[in-house]
Amino acid sequence: MAGALEGIKVLDLSRVLAGPWTGQLLADLGAEVIKVERPGAGDDTRQWAPPSLPDGTAAYFLCANRGKQSVTVDITQPAGQEIVRKLAAEADVLLENYKVGGLKKYGLDYDSLKAVNPRLVYCSITGFGQTGPYAELPGYDYIVQGMSGLMSITGPADGEPHKVGVAVTDLFTGLYAANAILAALIARGRTGEGQYVDMALFDCSVATLANINMNWLIGREVPKRLGNAHANIVPYQVFRCADGHFILACGNDKQFRAVCQLIGQTALAEDERFATNPARVKHRETLVPMLAEAFLARARDEWLKDLDAAGVPCGPINTVDEAFNDPQLRHRGLEISLRDTAGQNVPLVGCPIKLSGTPVEYNQAPPKLGEHTEDVLRTLGYDAASVAALRQSGVV
């Protein structure tokens, strides 16, 4: 069965995480994705190890490059630039995350390639976008987490700011970029013209602060770190119990009354300080310690069983290995394995998108560096002698 993006060709000049994450998602959905890498080195993340496969390919690289073909091209050489131009002439999408203006000196910027292929959707991912006072600055997820306000609301209330445990601004940007590319392709179907897509880690990180943004815009109080608590809902946080911790996500007054009944303190639900969620948010410093003391009386699984039976959202705090052993994860097919060209099985995390008519298909493990160079060059009209000459000169 053809994938949803069957027939769409993507030229992926990006590296590290945000861009490759975008390209992998498009590949999962059926697009042909050709990843262009530096000869002899490749994507930086190929060496971000340990851990790695027996051949040295880092787990980090594997997380974002499934389903792609790898072509090595030195874009600093004119012959390499010509290869990319030929690829762009046939592509529907070009994806890159060089510094602002970084590809212009090679004649591989949007205006140059638009002249070659007016239907091209050209997506640039940078730290701060193509315009503004920070446009020239390099973009790093960690720094953007700090600058966007995300770290100011992450971490213990009485401790230092924390980054999120995974590079979320890279990942958010990758997801936004994929949506933008698909929107541009749909628009092209009406107009016949491609367009330029300008994506910034900073913009995406700010956008995904969601309700925290609105709390500031409406209330004009600077949001504070609340640890594992919620800015707008109480009780909605981690609680310690007799043998560990669990999450209580009490989203309405009915659920709060159920919690009060389970802990044997029904009077709390009638107390005007706690009867409604706005009141509980206002008086959280009084309420939460009372709940915390009550939850110490029993073990985690006992609380989870009773809370679930009472219709109160709750859950365990799993380690990564526990998450991968969870029957829900296994049922949803989130752990997969693909055999690479060396014959080794590569464990991977599956795509979370479930489409009934054009389901995601996994047809290729993350590629070895330059694995598809010769095949792709042949499709562009280079014969064996030409490919050999390009290799000799270090272009590929």
Domain ranges in the chain?
Answer: 9-208+336-392, 236-317
Handedness of CA 199, 200, 206, 209 (dihedral sign): positive
pLDDT digits (tens, 9 = 90+) for 178-209: 999 999 999 999 999 999 999 999 999 999 99
Q: Would you place residue 380 in the very low, low, confident or very high pLDDT band (cuts 50, 70, 90)?
A: very high
Spatial separation of the C-alpha atoms in residues 384 and 146, rounded to whole Å: 51
Three-state DSSP state, 280:
helix
How would DSSP label each residue in 43-84? SGGGG--SSB-TTS-BHHHHTT-TTEEEEE--TTSHHHHHHH
Predicted confidence band of residue 37 (pLDDT cuts 50, 70, 90) = very high
Write down the pLDDT at residue 2: 86
Which of 12, 28, 170, 340 is catalytic? The answer is: 170
Query: pLDDT band for position 342 (50/70/90)?
Result: confident
Q: At what angle do helices 168-191 and 18-28 cross, to 10 degrees?
A: 50
The residue type of 191 is: T
CATH of domain 236-317: 3.30.1540.10
Give the residue ranges of DSSP H helices in the chain. Answer: 18-28, 59-62, 78-90, 110-116, 141-147, 168-191, 201-207, 211-219, 253-262, 267-270, 277-282, 284-295, 300-309, 320-324, 327-331, 373-379, 384-392
Structure tokens at 22: 């975008």
Instruction: Supply the mean pLDDT for the chain.
Output: 97
Q: State residue 186's pLDDT score.
A: 98
For residue 99, give Cα distances in angstroms to 106, 300, 364.
Answer: 13, 49, 30
When pLDDT is cut at 50, 70 and 90, the band that residue 330 belongs to is: very high
Between strands 244-249 and 236-241, the pairing is antiparallel
Dist. CA 275–CA 256, nearest whole Å: 8
Q: Residue 103 CA to chain centroid, in angstroms?
A: 25
Phi (first) and psi of residue 253, to 5 degrees: -70, -35
Percentage of the chain beyond pLDDT 90 is: 98
Predicted model pTM: 0.94
Q: By three-state DSSP, how is residue 202 classified? A: helix
State phi, psi for 62 to the nearest 5 degrees.
Answer: -65, -25
Tell me the pLDDT tens digit for each residue of 234-285.
Answer: 999 999 999 999 999 999 999 999 999 999 999 999 999 999 999 999 999 9
pLDDT digits (tens, 9 = 90+) for 133-172: 999 999 999 999 999 999 999 999 999 999 999 999 999 9
pLDDT at 129 > cutoff 90: yes
Percent of the chain at pLDDT exceeding 70:
100
Confidence of residue 28 (pLDDT cuts 50, 70, 90): very high
Q: Is the pLDDT of residue 1 over 90?
A: no
Please say if 170 is a catalytic residue.
yes
**Of all helices (H) and strands (E), which one includes residue 25?**
helix 18-28
Give yes or no for a contact between 292 and 239, defined as CB atoms under 8 angstroms apart: yes
Question: Distance between alpha carbon 269 and the CA centroid of its chain, in Å?
Answer: 40
Distance of CA 222 to the CA centre of its chain: 27
CATH of 9-208+336-392, one of 1.20.1270.30, 3.40.50.10540, 2.60.40.1080, 3.40.640.10: 3.40.50.10540
